[in-house]
Amino acid sequence: MKPTQLFVEALTSILRESRRIAPMAAGIVWGVASVFVLVAVARGFETTQRRALESLGDSFMLLRVNRATTTRGDQRGNAFVRLEGEDMQACRLGAPSVEALSPKANNWFIQGVRGGQIARVTAVGVDPEYADICNVPLVEDSRWITQIDMDQELPVCVLGFGAREELFGDQPFLGEEVQLIFTRNEGEDTVVRRLTVIGAVRDEELAGDSVYTSHRRAAYMPFTTWERMSPRGFQFFVVRPRTPAHREAALAELRAVLGRRHGFDADNANTLIPYFDAIERGAEIDAVFGGMEIFLGAVGVLILLLGAVGVANVVLMSVTSRTFEFGLRRALGCKRRWIFGQVFLEAGMVCLISGALGFGLGLLGVQLMSRIDLPDGFARPQAELGAAVLPAVLLLVVSLAAAAWPASRAARISVVQALSGGRL
């Protein structure tokens, strides 16, 4: 028997047994499509979470010294520590596990004014290396704060995308002036500072805390300029450890340095609080989606096993009903390997066609879901053909393995037993 004839015989047999094969094939199609959609949804959500983290920076911590003392009877135990520029210099010298750090000195709810436009902004004093620690993508022709700006205490600023839109809209902003209105002593004193805009942050932020980590309403300025405008000290600073493995060592070293300078217990981990920890959040994302991959893998294996049972059952029933046919073929000179090959090929073709239809249905489902306006926090699914290769191979291997036993039994039956109506 020629290979082409074998293929035609197998296809003819599939069409003849279509009623028996259809439920098994439908189960494979639905199972493969379900796994494909689940993987696409999980991958899309994971990608969105990672992009949201990367839009802020994926290797930094936003820290705050929370208590000046840990003495139970001291009412100052709940007071926040006000830091100064000298504290940052001491941390640079005394924390070798820290690769880079910068103040993030905030004045909340400052009024930004330009002409008749008013916006609520946060005045943020930073060092030039802040942009190396956090992700601060700038619009074209913008520049970031430099050491010259710091040394000369220049009144310049880089606006967040929300503040720029409210103050300038579509109008040019580089080189223009904005006014920041500072209020002190519960509003009794008002100080107006004029700053020249040297840049603006691009709108690439996917998610973030609107107060602590977002660039949206920030007006970044040299820390030395900010100190002159707001001499009360600051509370927050950002840190990037040398590697993620240095995270705990960096925190311990910073607590030791600041504890000596401000008189609090450096052994108390609660004295230095990460308000935002991109390193830990990245580890959480890895853990969550690593567990999800294991879960989806288990679901996929279960579906494949159920499919294998269905394939074995259908092939065995088909072979049993065709015992006489196989005996007659053997009597006419057909070799055992051709009978085995035909049964084996039938199962393989059914699995390949069902798997292809399943992937097609899953891809269609992903495309339809991508066109739906999803609520905030729900990511669009991402179909990855690479993720479909392994399930496809497993489906084929498991199904063919399940079909091998019935095919082998059909090939081994004797001619006399088959023609006399004997069972396999």
Q: Each residue of 339-375: pLDDT tens digit?
A: 777 777 777 788 778 878 888 888 888 888 878 776 6
Residues 233, 293: one domain?
Answer: no
Q: Is the pLDDT of residue 82 over 80?
A: yes
Considering the chain, what is the average pLDDT of its residues? 81
Q: According to DSSP H, which parts of 61-203 are helical?
A: 85-94, 130-133, 147-152, 161-168
Examine the fold and report which residue of 217, 240, 263 is the final residue of a domain before the chain moves on: 240
In this prediction, residue 378 carries a pLDDT of: 62
What mean pLDDT comes out for the span 176-185?
83
How does 218-235 read in b/e, with b if 16+ C-beta sit within 10 Å?
bbbbbbbbbbebbeeebb
DSSP reduced 3-state for 374:
coil
Q: Which residue has the higher pLDDT, 78 or 67?
A: 67
Residues 288, 222: one domain?
Answer: no
In this prediction, residue 420 carries a pLDDT of: 65
Residues 112, 229: one domain?
Answer: yes
Q: Is the pLDDT of residue 418 over 70?
A: no
Residue 369 lies in a domain: yes
- CA dist., res. 189 & res. 221, Å (int): 22
Q: For 85-143, write each residue's pLDDT tens digit.
A: 999 999 999 999 999 999 999 988 889 999 889 999 999 999 999 999 999 999 999 99
In this prediction, residue 92 carries a pLDDT of: 93
Copy the structure tokens of residue 383: 């179909």
What mean pLDDT comes out for the span 402-424?
66
Give the range of the structural domain holding residue 201, as residue numbers without chain letter.
108-240
Residue 201 lies in a domain: yes
Residues 227, 291: one domain?
Answer: no
Examine the fold and report which residue of 218, 240, 262 is the final residue of a domain before the chain moves on: 240
Residue 235 lies in a domain: yes
In this prediction, residue 72 carries a pLDDT of: 45
Residues 223, 299: one domain?
Answer: no
Q: Is the pLDDT of residue 237 over 80?
A: yes
Residues 347, 288: one domain?
Answer: yes
Highest average pLDDT, of 125-139, 251-265, 370-384, 407-421, comes from 125-139
Q: Could you tell me the CA-to-CA distances from 251 to 271, 281, 387 in Å, in that order?
A: 10, 16, 39
Residue 254 lies in a domain: no
Examine the fold and report which residue of 240, 265, 292 is the final residue of a domain before the chain moves on: 240
Residues 48, 134: one domain?
Answer: no
Q: How many domains does the chain have?
A: 2
